[in-house]
Amino acid sequence: MITYNIYMDEAAADGLNGDTDLEVSFRVVSGEEDADNPEENAVIVGLDMVDLMNLRDAIQFALDDFNMMAFEAVVLGAGGVVEETEDQA
């Protein structure tokens, strides 16, 4: 069974206000091709394809949930503004 390792690479990026921000990217590397000492450097070691799909689904669910909360906040906020405008008219 092929397994995969996930790495988190960090790189400094200049921010808009002159501060240094940290930019993070993730790499997925096949265990067969991995030469980066995964036991020491990888964030997650030894995932099979099903594990990767489950991880993807969990992340997608969290993103969808966050986006829905943000959307509801905007809609509810806009709804309150619309009602105030109608009352004033």
* Predicted confidence band of residue 82 (pLDDT cuts 50, 70, 90): very low
Q: What is the pLDDT of residues 27-72, one digit of tens each?
A: 888 888 888 787 787 788 888 889 999 999 999 999 999 999 999 9
Kindly report the number of other CB atoms within 10 A of residue 39's CB atom.
9
Domain boundaries, the chain: 1-47, 49-89
**What is the rounded (10 degree) CA torsion for 40, 46, 47, 48?**
150
Q: What is the model's pTM?
A: 0.58
* Predicted confidence band of residue 78 (pLDDT cuts 50, 70, 90): confident
Residues 6+ apart with CB under 8 A from 13: 20, 21, 22, 23
Q: What pLDDT does 65 receive?
A: 92
